[in-house]
Amino acid sequence: MSRTAWGTRLRTAVRSRGRLCVGIDPHPPLLRSWDLPETADGVARFADICVEAFAGEVALVKPQVAFFESYGSAGYAVLERTIAALREAGTLVVADAKRGDIGSTMSAYAQAWLGDGSPLGSDALTVSPYLGFGALEPAVTLAGETGRGLFALARTSNPEGGALQAARTAADGVSTGQGPTAARPGPTVAQSIVDAAVAQNRDGNDTIGLVVGATRGHGLDLSEFTGPILAPGLGAQGATVSDLAEIFSDSRELLLPNTSRDVLRHGPAVQALRDAARRVRDDVEAALA
């Protein structure tokens, strides 16, 4: 069966509805502020409101899987319905599950989130490459076969990630001329993920995207990367739309700023949520024009 590549699908959605990705994060403080119970029923009402507000208004919606998973099977049932409703409305769904494992386990995760016919099947999935980028191969293969995408964590917005992600990889053995044992350091761990994604995307499908936080200078060379960049941190974590053009000066085409709490705080009224998403979407488009 012929499949439309993920990069093509994403570009079509962005041209139609802008670059903004809005999160559905039903964490307890938000449930309380919306006067909803901290139960699966409360999460279901929260998700239904978000679907009504965002479907058809923005290109991508990103449910945070953990906030559904914490209610067990009932929470997963809500997530399944939410994914189905968004996709039926033509909105691309990024499952924020951050899966990453090896071998048959990674294959099972891929089937769950990217497989045709899976009740959790989404348009894209966040993945962690920190067991080695090559360990993602089952998900990379399936995403390519089904016209879906992956967003690999590279340089995240949380401060705890910096020590690992900015660490240098093993030296490449090329002398720096500073002594008999001196060697040029390798790229940072985060840059090695970017480089692996560049190599993977040479088929032109842009299956591999990156997660690069918008809250700080990322220090990455993205000059050869043509795929999508999911940029969390807009709003509640401190990044502003004016920061985007500076932080991602050479990576604007498929830059997908992500906001959650900064829009969700306007709920539970559907129109207020929709208006907030439209405002941020339009501000993003103006900043990146």
Q: In this structure, what are the phi and psi dihedrals at residue 122, rounded to the nearest 5 degrees?
A: -120, 175
What are the structure tokens assigned to 277, written together?
Answer: 């998403």
As a whole number of angstroms, the distance between CA 196 and CA 200 comes to 6
- Contact at 8 Å (CB) between 78 and 63? no
What are the structure tokens assigned to 153, written together?
Answer: 């964590």
For the annotated catalytic residues, the residue numbers are: 98
As a whole number of angstroms, the distance between CA 57 and CA 91 comes to 8
